[in-house]
Structure 1
Amino acid sequence: MKRVVVLPDKAGLAEGVANRFVGKLAQLTQEGRPVHVSLTGGSMGSAVLAAAADHGWAENIDWSLVHFWWSDERFVPSDDTERNAGQARAALLDRVGVPAGNVHEPASTDGGLSLDEAADAYAAELARFGTDGREWPEFDICFLGVGPDGHIASLFPDRREVLVRDRAVLAVRDSPKPPPERITFTLPVINSSVRIWMVVSGADKASALGLMLAGAGPASVPAAGAEGTARTVVFVDQDAATDVPEDLIDPDY
């Protein structure tokens, strides 16, 4: 079951999620094993990462154990400001010294690969870290944003990508949200994550969030299909929380 944590505003949302993120990474890296994190893009995704980099506990994390991935990426030049990876590097990765080999970034248009080749290469990179018979790692934390239409990653409503179950990574063309070409995880990869943390802000997301929590199908509201194996938490600000059922709000997480 999805649980909802309501925070007062965008700044409080970024700070609250960053607190939990840094604390969980500090705990997980103390176990001395590789930790896999899937990131998302957008302004809130970057705000959470920047707050994590500034956090006093960040120095307690063994960043050499943390591997970073992206549930989707824009297929644009590597220096394009639309790149999720570039935003994450500026906000966190370059600031805390994550080893280059731990940053698993999908190819860009200037990497010499076509869109299909880039998707296949990303799937092959995932497979290098596959566990338990899966061709991808088990993500300890998978961050997701939710669009006003209910999309997650680059899985958009009423499109074939959200229904694919036999692939890890897909090339997306003619995306309803620009840029048109993207690379995305499929739902099976997302749903093998131990923890899925959705970070949602703004009144324009309230309707999609309400539909997701009301049990809409993933074909029409892809966010409804995201479920972590241990926990699925939706962190929202007050503006996005207007349609959240009271019984789903978790004041203690």
Structure 2
Amino acid sequence: MTHDRRVLVHADKAALITSVATRFLSKITDTLHDQGHANVVLTGGSVATSVLEAINASPDRDSLNWSKIDIWWGDERWVPRGHADRNEVQARAALLDHIDIPAANIHAFPASDEGLDIDAAADRYAAELKALAGPDSPVPQFDVTFLGVGPDGHIASLFPHLQGIRENDLTVIAVLNSPKPPAERLSLTRWVLNSSERIWLVVSGTDKASALGLALAGASRDEVPVAGIRGRHYTDFFVDGEAAAEVPENLIAQPN
């Protein structure tokens, strides 16, 4: 059963980043102890990258057995391999290139210069997900899924009023008309994101306050896609004071 969504407000962006990084290391330590393996879904954006940098800088970084962790992405820009705009490139620079994790455990989306069209790339990532899934699921059990939130309320590459947010069958879609450049992207679908044990939305800045407030006040998923995001057991919004400006007060929890 899905628990209620929680909003944990931090004093500022720096405190937010430190808190999420510390919580991640603690939670994945517990997950590895309990089940021996973890699947983590990463997102892009400056705040998410800063969290990965904070994980990298932590003295507890190497206490994790990274060989038991598989890394996935919620979405990716359809640009060439190694392009600075790829979420994968940013994550590698921030953390993945600095830890002892097998290359096979890093599941990057295909790139635009690898001989596939974008639809075939979506199919390939769907097949990779399926290959590491349990017998009754098309995707692995995601233990922690990071998401950011755009000023328009988009999550991953699922944007307001576009078909992607309404997709209920496919696990991975090609996005051809993103209102935010580049126009072509790959994305996990909403129901796949919602299959995650824990979804952690990390949100900073005044430009996110309206979308966050609307989502938590009951806006529709088509209008504000983040409103349609709920993990299987936990859905936590880690926000700074600026992003929390329009959050209903009764939803705000105290960080611990």
**2, 5, 8: which one aligns with 1:5:** 8
- Normalising by structure 1, we get a TM-score of 0.98
Task: Give the whole-Å Cα distance in 1 for the aligned partners of 2:189 and 2:240.
Answer: 27
Task: Give the whole-Å Cα distance in 2 for the aligned partners of 1:83 and 1:138.
Answer: 24
Contact 2:52–2:91 (8 Å) recurs in 1: yes
Structure 1 match to 2:90: 87
User: AA paired with 1:114?
Assistant: D
- Normalising by structure 2, we get a TM-score of 0.96
Q: Between Structure 1 and Structure 2, how many residues are aligned?
A: 253
Task: Give the whole-Å Cα distance in 1 for the aligned partners of 2:181 and 2:89.
Answer: 17
> Alpha-carbon deviation of 1:13?
1.1
Q: CA RMSD in A?
A: 1.0
Structure 2 match to 1:134: 137
Task: Give the whole-Å Cα distance in 1 for the aligned partners of 2:14 and 2:183.
Answer: 30
Structure 2 match to 1:237: 240
Task: Give the whole-Å Cα distance in 2 for the aligned partners of 1:58 and 1:28.
Answer: 15
User: AA paired with 2:81?
Assistant: S
> Alpha-carbon deviation of 1:252?
4.1
Residue 205 of structure 2 is aligned to residue 202 of structure 1? yes
Runs of 4+ aligned structure 1 residues displaced above 4 Å come to none
CA offsets per residue over residues 124-173 of structure 1, 9 Å max, x none? 00001122622001100000000000000000000111001010000000
Task: Give the whole-Å Cα distance in 2 for the aligned partners of 1:114 and 1:105.
Answer: 16
Task: Give the whole-Å Cα distance in 2 for the aligned partners of 1:174 and 1:191.
Answer: 23
User: AA paired with 1:246?
Assistant: E
Q: 1:166 to 1:54 in 2, by over 3 A?
A: same
Question: Runs of 5+ in structure 1 lacking a partner?
Answer: none
Task: Give the whole-Å Cα distance in 1 for the aligned partners of 2:20 and 2:37.
Answer: 21
CA offsets per residue over residues 195-220 of structure 1, 9 Å max, x none? 00000001000000000100111111
Task: Give the whole-Å Cα distance in 2 for the aligned partners of 1:52 and 1:132.
Answer: 33
SS in 1 for 2:95: helix
Percent of residue pairs identical: 49
Structure 1 match to 2:157: 154
Question: Runs of 5+ in structure 2 lacking a partner?
Answer: none
Structure 1 match to 2:117: 114
